[in-house]
Amino acid sequence: MNCNKARDVFKAFLNENFDYSGFLELPVFKATDEVPNKMVTFSRAMSKAWNDFDCWVHFYEHDEKFERLWRNPNQYLNKIKKFRGVISPDFSIYRNMPLVMQMWNTYRGRALAAWLSSKGVSVIPNVRFNDIRTYLFCFDGIEPHKTIALGTHGCIKGKRDKEYFKKGLAETVSRLKPKNIIVYGAAPDNIFKPIKDMDINIISFESEFSKSRRKSVID
């Protein structure tokens, strides 16, 4: 086989000329300390009807709605560049997933983030963690003392989920020492007050699910 003509099945072009961090060699990218004014899901932002570009694109939705970005990132680059910036892709990692799948999804989000940053897009790193095993890689490649983003929707429902989240949040703050934390979903004081007391700015955005439930109650 002629390697020059081989199909780029693992998207090697996303990682050209980057530095790498950690044993998984996750790409390092330049983060920002900006804070979003408004946010919109990737699927809605890429629709033909959407024309409000004064907001940040986020990926806190079902993976199937943004898998297409992984399959063909160049197809969406020009429209993404019209927005203020992006929260890096949030490919799912669940505690009952094999760890290798959690690593792979972490890598995919980080690779797309680094590539978008290299194309001039402002990127806020999304941090996604689970149990203590994920601490071995989930912070790699993320610049400290910047703005980061977390998703709480579906992650703090039960007592056990809350405990995992609290531990992961504490580890995140210890490792990254962020200036700002963007929270997609609820940011209750029983979880986030210790972080606020450290003079870290917490900015919460209501999830689409909560918005739809609130609207249905009003209607």
Could you tell me the mean pLDDT of each successive run of 10 residues in the chain, 219 residues long? Answer: 60 86 93 95 97 97 97 97 98 95 97 96 97 97 96 92 97 98 96 97 86 52
pTM: predicted TM-score of the whole model, two decimal places? 0.92
- Domain residue ranges in the chain: 29-218
Query: Could you report how far apart the first and last alpha carbons of the chain are, in Å?
Result: 62
In three-state secondary structure terms, 134 is helix
How many other C-beta atoms can be found within 10 angstroms of the C-beta atom of residue 119? 14
pLDDT digits (tens, 9 = 90+) for 67-79: 999 999 999 999 9
Q: Are 156 and 175 in contact (CB under 8 A)?
A: no
Residue from 123, 103, 109 nearest 29 by CA: 123
**Residue 183, strand partner residues:** 150, 204
Which CATH code for domain 29-218?
A: 3.20.20
pLDDT digits (tens, 9 = 90+) for 109-118: 999 999 999 9
